[in-house]
Homo-oligomer: A and B are copies of this chain.
């Protein structure tokens, strides 16, 4: 089996391994947004936000469309959203397990 393939997968997962970036993806799942729209939603330095977006662009999850000074972001691979359903399954199962242990 190909090692590079696993590394490529890992890079994609890594890009999604931050709450902030997941929130960005969630926001973009509801439509195109520009950086200036995202900034008020995230209580952080704009350069930090820009870097998070860049991380998502780097692995191809998000694409940009420039319009003058603005830069509209779009979710390039919406199947990412299915991933979240699965993760929620993992999380729910885990919560159930913890509840059992607590008994």
Residues of A within 8 A of B (CB): 1, 3, 5-10, 12-14, 16-19, 21-23, 26, 59-61, 76-77, 79-80, 82-91, 93-94, 97
Q: How far is the CA of A87 from the CA of B17 in the complex (A)?
A: 14
Beta-carbon contact of B14 and A60 below 8 Å = no
3 nearest A-B pairs in the assembled complex, by CB-CB distance:
A60-B94, A14-B17, A79-B86
When distances are taken between beta carbons in the complex, the residues of chain B under 8 Å from A79 are 85-86, 89-90
Q: How far is the CA of A47 from the CA of B3 in the complex (A)?
A: 21
A61: nearest chain-B partner, CB-CB: B90
11 pairs, CB–CB < 8 Å, chain A vs chain B: A6-B19, A6-B23, A8-B91, A10-B16, A13-B16, A13-B17, A14-B17, A60-B93, A76-B93, A82-B83, A83-B83
Using A82-B86, A86-B82 as known contacts, say yes or no to A12 and B91 having CB atoms under 8 A apart. yes
